[in-house]
Chains A and B, each alone.
Chain A
Amino acid sequence: MLLVPCPHCGPRDETEFKYGGQAGIAHPADPESLTDAEWLDYLFLRDNPKGPWRERWVHTAGCRRWFDVTRDTLTNEFGDIGG
């Protein structure tokens, strides 16, 4: 079980959190201007790197705040917190 670094509450067991996938996927400002392919890209397509990446968590059983954090997908070590 991961020890997830909540920026507001400190490190807590993973069971207190929900995972939010890749960070930094903004809802398009004007969805209607997008092609079907562009919209599909927003909805479904995500990176899947081996190594560090930015991801989202929400501390559902704690402060209920969303935050971004860097995690190495190979070692599960967390890095920069914030966002």
Chain B
Amino acid sequence: MTGSRLPDGGTGIDRGDPRAFDFEGTVVSGFAGDTVASALLANGIDVVGRSIYHDRPRGVFSAGPEEPNALVQVRWASGISEPMLPATTVPVEDVLEVRNLAGRGRLEPAEPGTDTGRFDARYAPCEVRVIGAGVSGRRAASNARTADPGARVLLIDSDPAAAGDEVRRGMTALGIYDHGYVTAVERCPAPATEGRLWHIRAGRIVIATGATERPIIFADDDRPGVMLAGAAATYVERYGVRPGERAVIFTNNDTTDAVTATLRGAGTEVVAIVDARRGDLIVGTMGDDAGRLTGIRITRAHGRPDAGADGDDPETIEADLLLVSGGWNPNVALWAHARGTLRFDERIAAFVPDRAGPHGRIEVVGAAAGEVEGLGDIGPTWVVPPPGPATDAAWSTHYVDLGRDSTVQDLQRALGAGLESIEHVKRYTTIGTGIDQGRTSGVVTSAIAAAILGQDVGAIGVPTFRPPTVPVSFAQLAARNRGALADPIRVTPSHPWHEANGAVFEDVGQWKRPHHFPQAGESVDDAVLRECRAARTSVAMMDATTLGKIDLQGPDVGAFLDRVYTNTFSSLKVGSCRYGLMCRADGMVFDDGVTSRLADDRFHMTTTTGNAAAVLDHLEEWLQTEWPDLRVHATSVTEQWATVAVVGPRSRDVVAALAPSLDVSDAAFPFMTWRDAVIAGTLGRAFRISFSGELAYELNVPTWHGLALWEAVLAAGATFGITPYGTQAMHVLRAEKGYPIIGQETDGTVTPQDLGMAWAVSTKKDFIGRRSHRRLDAQRPDRKQLVGLLPTDPRIVLPEGTQLVAPDADLRVTPVPMLGHVTSSYDSAALGRSFALALVKGGRERIGQTVLAPLIDRVVEAVIADSVLFDPENRRRDGEPQP
């Protein structure tokens, strides 16, 4: 094939605007309006790549998104490198550099700061959405506008140079989903953005996506120089490119008549028209050393006047271009996405939308509906048998899917292996799984399978079409939702202080929480030990703002909480707080927290940080769907209150200094009560509750004053060396006391009884999940129970998640029966050693026993203990115990 630019012509190019790009080290010149493929052909570059598995040279096969051969890696003008693009759809204007690919694209690793790709997304409702701006699509859009001048009619076309008015060009529909939802990708000129993803909700959808030509399959049908017939005409007419000098046309329909005329008009010598309907067939091709087409082999039908003298022996014709047309497939992928069914239409020998189905919202028009113009009487030729004996190997160069290097031989193997469903055939052969999604190979595959199985093509069908219709990058799908915009980031009012003071943050849900506050040169472990020691010996402070807070109001709140919590809240006195456990109906622990009574008809609930939204959902669901008679309003106030926990034996002194008008004596403000108070000059609430076992307070002020409170606590505690601590120290302190963290000690299969918290489960009233606790399974003695775990070597901190086995377990015989697993594990300043919490089968019966923790490189011994390892008598709750 020796392509060249014609001296004039080319409706789609601007000869006054020359462009150039680098292709494998060669400068390729073209014009604005060219695709990479048309420019390559114009420059006489006929081998554009090598095939993925068989390493065979391949050339440009098509002029559109159906391209299976000319797949390239493109460096866009913006600098972004994108793999696996069909050269037939890439405009030269936007391209710096093009490399060919042996079927495998590469994502270029981005140097930090060099990922400058910007992608956008847009939402657009419309009354009528028309996909495809050909004659039928433009007519449908025009009709819709005439019928309702006020209707929003969106007419799109993937071709950046599509004709017509009011067409959104360069925009490709990716898929049709439920209820008129359509996604589309729009390639945008850099530097504004690389592309834009459209989310469109359409009242009515018109599919006018046209039809795609398909080949006829024969031996060595994959050489550079073999091209779809219609594509050759496109190169001449649109791009002013003559794709070859001596052409043979192989056809089974009348659409090649116009192609012949176009080629001849461009000066290509059409040396033979091989029409399968007359019994003439191409049985093979010949090539030069580089694999390029040099000639074809034809068998003519017997009995015709022009039949060769040697009857069936192939005749040879020299040619550098072989144009093939095996008919046209309506582009039905989008129709099929919307669960539209297909039927095989013998009239055009292709699958067409079966419009009898219930799809009032979607219609298909034009060639996509099977109205392919100029087809004539199509002949049912799909494949030409190999010349000579039709052995299995003789089919090994009958390429069906060029993009996947799949042949008729592969198809025979699949069918021979008993795979009769076309879905299985697709997966066995990989036909149709390339980036062109089987646009040229799919229906041919079904027809060949039908012939081999002796069935109708219509009965075989085609594999399910699934979105997206064209490859789309993850970056495009993410659009602007990347980096900081990927997910909301929630910070507390004290966050600027945490940042300025070197906090190391961890993500808890969407919150940024300080994990620890390292001092200069301090390791994580050292920092956590220091923070814990401060809380147990003097005073420490933590930002607890992220705890979920729900304001509950109404005369029936008490009764409601009795049903929601496993324990009783209706008896709680105003001014008091109570720890509560919540279960789902299945009896498994769902959340916990301290809830306080603000007034007869008002409670303040706290939840775990990560579960705040889920708890509010849970409360509203039960209120709305089961107990609409209860007069309760639930409102999230998490964002309304900033909370600082002041923890340790000196915390009372700090709170006294912060709130001079508050009587902080144990008698006036005992454990598990709360008080209104002016704290650091702001009206707020002080709660005497503890998540560490130490004397502790949680101070709440309106969020606006959160940072001021934090700084005031810091100042008031300075004389005691008050120490800010993070979530890790909080975890250690609570674990020393055996307090579970819902979601760490529990996993949705743990009951309150498993946690050793039967004391928090009322036996006198019903509550959500109560019946589940009476299930036989909930009462098995070998349920996993929460226990403490002390490694025999006190320096070893077991990894969380470590499995535990019996001391006499034979570790060589797998599977080794598991007794349980480590849920939390830390080094402890207070205990002077490592410790863990674990869920162990029948654990409370095993206290004092040894278990083994097999690690990757060793086996660690540990002794099961009570889950409360520090101050089991709660003597520290009211401050440093008097000796």
A interface residue numbers (CB < 8 A to B): 1-3, 13, 18, 20, 26-28, 31-32, 34, 36, 39-40, 42-44, 56, 58, 60, 64-66, 75-76
Shortest CB–CB separation between residue A38 and chain B, in angstroms?
10
Shortest CB–CB separation between residue B227 and chain A, in angstroms?
40
Shortest CB–CB separation between residue B170 and chain A, in angstroms?
24
Q: In the docked arrangement, what's the CA distance between A42 and B774, Å?
A: 15
The interface residues of chain B lying within 8 Å CB-to-CB of A27 are 585, 626
The interface residues of chain B lying within 8 Å CB-to-CB of A34 are 771
Pairs across A and B, CB under 8 Å, 16 listed: A1-B181, A2-B179, A3-B178, A3-B179, A26-B626, A32-B766, A32-B774, A40-B775, A43-B586, A43-B772, A58-B620, A58-B621, A60-B617, A64-B620, A75-B339, A76-B178
Q: In the docked arrangement, what's the CA distance between A21 and B156, Å?
A: 38
B426 contacts A by Cβ under 8 Å: no
Interface size on B, residues (CB 8 A): 23
Cβ contact within 8 Å between A66 and B179: no
Closest residue of A by beta carbon distance from B585? A43
User: Given B617, B621, B624, B771, which contacts A39 in the complex, CB threshold below 8 Å?
Assistant: B771
Which 4 pairs across A and B sit closest by C-beta, in order of nearness?
Answer: A31-B771, A3-B179, A76-B178, A66-B624
The interface residues of chain B lying within 8 Å CB-to-CB of A64 are 620
B180 contacts A by Cβ under 8 Å: yes
Cβ contact within 8 Å between A36 and B775: yes
Q: In the docked arrangement, what's the CA distance between A40 and B164, Å?
A: 63
B418 contacts A by Cβ under 8 Å: no
User: Given A42, A44, A58, which contacts B617 in the complex, CB threshold below 8 Å?
Assistant: A58
Cβ contact within 8 Å between B177 and A1: yes
Count CB-based A-B contacts (< 8 Å). Answer: 52
Cβ contact within 8 Å between A65 and B624: yes
Given pairs A36-B776, A66-B620, 6 additional interface contacts (CB within 8 A): A26-B626, A39-B775, A40-B775, A43-B586, A65-B624, A76-B179
Mark out the residues of chain B between 167 and 215 whose CB falls within 8 Å of any chain A CB in the assembled complex.
177-181, 201
Q: In the docked arrangement, what's the CA distance between A42 and B179, Å?
A: 32
Cβ contact within 8 Å between A66 and B771: no
B770 contacts A by Cβ under 8 Å: yes
Q: Tell whether A1 pairs with B585 under 8 Å between CB atoms, given A31-B766, A36-B776, A75-B358.
A: no
Shortest CB–CB separation between residue A6 and chain B, in angstroms?
14
B665 contacts A by Cβ under 8 Å: no
The interface residues of chain B lying within 8 Å CB-to-CB of A2 are 178-179
Cβ contact within 8 Å between B625 and A1: no
The interface residues of chain A lying within 8 Å CB-to-CB of B620 are 58, 64, 66
The interface residues of chain A lying within 8 Å CB-to-CB of B626 are 26-27
The interface residues of chain B lying within 8 Å CB-to-CB of A20 are 621
Closest residue of B by beta carbon distance from A23? B625
Closest residue of B by beta carbon distance from A30? B766
Cβ contact within 8 Å between B201 and A3: yes
Shortest CB–CB separation between residue A21 and chain B, in angstroms?
11
Cβ contact within 8 Å between A39 and B772: yes
The interface residues of chain A lying within 8 Å CB-to-CB of B178 are 1-3, 76
Q: In the docked arrangement, what's the CA distance between A27 and B178, Å?
A: 33
Q: In the docked arrangement, what's the CA distance between A18 and B617, Å?
A: 10
Q: In the docked arrangement, what's the CA distance between A66 and B625, Å?
A: 7
The interface residues of chain B lying within 8 Å CB-to-CB of A43 are 585-586, 772
Shortest CB–CB separation between residue B583 and chain A, in angstroms?
12
Q: In the docked arrangement, what's the CA distance between A28 and B201, Å?
A: 41
Q: In the docked arrangement, what's the CA distance between A39 and B770, Å?
A: 11
Shortest CB–CB separation between residue A18 and chain B, in angstroms?
7
Shortest CB–CB separation between residue B511 and chain A, in angstroms?
19
Shortest CB–CB separation between residue A28 and chain B, in angstroms?
8
Closest residue of A by beta carbon distance from B180? A3
